[in-house]
Homo-oligomer: A and B are copies of this chain.
């Protein structure tokens, strides 16, 4: 039943990621053209790296909608009042995109015959690489390095979806389950400010 909605959900996820890229560029007082480039990098960066590694056609090059939707997202970010985006709305939408892309990435990798563990890793790459590229070009601390849970929900989503699929569960159901648990964990991290324990050098004698 979710099948026909997939392209729409993917486009929504891309739009949300694009929005976050454009908003970062605007926070850094950039021009509209740069904001659009950031929107693109964030919106399709992860999926592009996934497709190139799978030797699959890069998904947005032959799609008449993805690139225009990204430019539209950049425009929306540019012309709307900043305070629209200052609450947690965007973080929740980003959580949904992160969970969806991580499961979709793992599913696509399995469909291309990739081994289980690398397929799960490709899911994480699909979910997180766009944000990583955005932060690297912007010169801000990488989303990978921030203390709140971000990669972990992505990994949970990818591992859940891939494991279910490998156990023979229906693909749509597996993707849905992975997205729900990934979104749930990221949401919990947003609400309760969850963190994984960071490494501290307690074992170092002179610390």
Contact = CB atoms under 8 A, between A and B. Distances in A.
Nearest to A57: B55
Interface of A: 25-26, 28-35, 37-38, 40, 48, 52-55, 57-58, 60-64, 66-68, 71, 78, 81-83, 109, 113-115, 117-119, 121-122, 124, 128, 132, 136-139, 141-142, 144-145, 151-152, 155, 195-201, 203-205
5 contacts: A55-B58, A61-B122, A82-B201, A137-B145, A138-B145
A132 B137 contact: yes
Contacts of A145: 28, 30, 34, 137-139
Contacts of A203: 81-83
Q: Main SS of chain A's interface residues? A: helix
Copies of the protein in its oligomer: 3
B60 A118 contact: yes
Contact of A67 (B61, B117, B196): B117
A117 B33 contact: no
Contact of A113 (B29, B54, B62, B109): B62
Nearest to A136: B136
A132 B138 CA distance: 10
A23 to B, nearest CB: 10
A64 B30 contact: no
A151 B38 CA distance: 12
Contacts of A81: 203-204
